[in-house]
């Protein structure tokens, strides 16, 4: 069971302002049926530090994930998660900008069950879509990666023994694990090496199937969402709000047939 012995992180960095995604009320989301996400070539060297301060990020197209509740029609809830993609000869870079009133994450051990906490995920299939890779980071920067197989009876088999060598850094605008105050959000800057999933020659025009997920535990239990245990108090339950891409799809995000297309530009 997680304890509270870890020091709480206090970072008030204004991360969702300049250099990150704009406030959702200031920028309308793209069309609901957008299933193609373009990764731009980097212009400069990248520092994986959780700050989207590189000029390359300014040129990356912002895409917004959509809320998915798994039981009813997908609807556009408040846009809370923005994804941007970049690439160079060595890495695929992913930035997640997440608005969040309560940021929480306790797990610190690599490949632990970070998907039960505030987290973001990239899944990507270089060849067969039923055999794909998963790269996940929780809000305190603990990483999980796995190679997954999704069979035809809708069962997901994950092998976290896989190590793709990816790295990620998180910057929090608020206080981690402190429900007494109200947070603003968090940003993940992720770099996944092409060698981690056997892509030897990335080039413009290359396409992959994939998806992007965000699990958000809200400030207070809501009326919708998935009921899950929280790692900070397994005896209690909380609702988690899951967002996915492509935004118009209703199926569970790990269903490979529903993956969108990621294209290198
Ligand atoms: Ca950076
Ligand atoms: Ca949260």
Structure tokens at 243: 């967002």
Q: What pLDDT shows up at residue 67?
A: 75
Query: Is 24 part of any domain?
Result: yes
Q: What pLDDT shows up at residue 23?
A: 37
What's the gap in Å between 213 CA and the centre of ligand 1? 21
Q: What pLDDT shows up at residue 55?
A: 97
Q: Provide the pairing of β-strand 260-264 with 167-175.
A: unpaired
Q: How many domains, the chain? A: 1
Instruction: Please report the DSSP string for 211-256 in residue order.
Output: EEEEEE--SS--SSSEEEEETTEEEEEEEEEEEESSTT--S-TT-G
What's the gap in Å between 56 CA and the centre of ligand 1? 10
Query: Is 5 part of any domain?
Result: no
- Maximum alpha-carbon separation in the chain: 49
User: Cα-flanking dihedrals φ and ψ of residue 60, to 5°?
Assistant: -75, 135
Q: What pLDDT shows up at residue 79?
A: 55
Q: What pLDDT shows up at residue 152?
A: 72
**97: β partners:** 82, 187
Question: Which ligand gives the minimal distance to the CA of 91?
Answer: 1
Question: Which ligand gives the minimal distance to the CA of 167?
Answer: 1
Task: State the Cα–Cα distance between residues 177 and 91, nearest whole angstrom.
Answer: 31
Q: Provide the pairing of β-strand 260-264 with 207-216.
A: antiparallel
What's the gap in Å between 237 CA and the centre of ligand 1? 35
User: Residue 156 CB: number of other CB atoms within 10 A?
Assistant: 14
* 3-state DSSP assignment of residue 195: helix
Cα distances (angstroms) measured from residue 188 to each of 121, 198, 239, 260: 10, 24, 22, 21
Query: Is 3 part of any domain?
Result: no
Instruction: Give ∠ CA 107-218-181 in degrees, rounded to 5.
Output: 85
Query: Is 2 part of any domain?
Result: no
| 35-90 residue pLDDT tens | 899 999 999 999 999 999 999 999 999 998 877 755 444 444 555 899 999 999 99
Query: Is 68 part of any domain?
Result: yes
Q: What pLDDT shows up at residue 30?
A: 43
Q: What is the pTM (predicted TM-score) of this model? A: 0.82
What's the gap in Å between 119 CA and the centre of ligand 2? 9
Q: What pLDDT shows up at residue 202?
A: 97
Query: Is 147 part of any domain?
Result: yes
Query: Is 180 part of any domain?
Result: yes
CATH of the domain at 93: 2.60.40.1190
- Domain containing residue 216: 10-264
Task: State the Cα–Cα distance between residues 110 and 91, nearest whole angstrom.
Answer: 20
What's the gap in Å between 139 CA and the centre of ligand 1? 16
Task: For the chain, state the CA radius of gyration.
Answer: 17
Q: Which residues of the chain have pLDDT under 70?
A: 1-34, 69-79, 154, 219-238
Q: What pLDDT shows up at residue 244?
A: 86
Q: Provide the pairing of β-strand 36-41 with 63-64.
A: unpaired
Question: Which ligand gives the minimal distance to the CA of 93?
Answer: 1
Query: Is 1 part of any domain?
Result: no
59 sits in which H/E element: helix 55-59
């Amino acid at each position: 069971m997680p304890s509270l012995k870890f020091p709480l992180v206090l970072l008030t960095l204004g991360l969702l302002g300049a250099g990150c995604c704009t406030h959702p009320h200031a920028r309308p989301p793209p069309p609901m049926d957008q299933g193609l996400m373009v990764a731009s070539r980097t212009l400069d060297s990248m520092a994986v530090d959780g700050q989207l301060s590189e000029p390359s990020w300014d040129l990356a197209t912002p895409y917004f994930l959509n809320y998915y509740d798994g039981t009813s029609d997908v609807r556009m809830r408040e846009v809370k998660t923005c994804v941007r993609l970049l690439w160079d000869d060595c890495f695929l870079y992913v930035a997640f900008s997440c608005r969040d009133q309560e940021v929480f994450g306790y797990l610190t051990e690599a490949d632990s069950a970070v998907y039960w906490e505030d987290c973001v995920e990239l899944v990507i299939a270089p060849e067969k879509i039923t055999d794909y890779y998963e790269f996940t980071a929780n809000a305190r920067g603990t990483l999980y990666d796995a190679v997954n197989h999704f069979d035809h009876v809708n069962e997901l088999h994950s092998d976290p023994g896989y190590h793709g060598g990816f790295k990620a850094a998180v910057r929090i605008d608020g206080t981690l694990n402190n429900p007494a105050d109200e947070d603003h959000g968090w940003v993940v800057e992720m770099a996944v090496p092409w060698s981690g999933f056997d892509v030897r020659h990335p080039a413009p025009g290359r396409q992959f199937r994939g998806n992007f997920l965000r699990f958000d535990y809200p400030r207070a239990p809501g009326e919708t969402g998935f009921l899950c245990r929280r790692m900070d108090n397994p005896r209690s339950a909380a609702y988690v709000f899951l967002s996915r891409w492509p935004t118009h799809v209703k199926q569970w995000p790990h269903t490979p047939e529903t993956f969108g297309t990621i294209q290198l530009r």
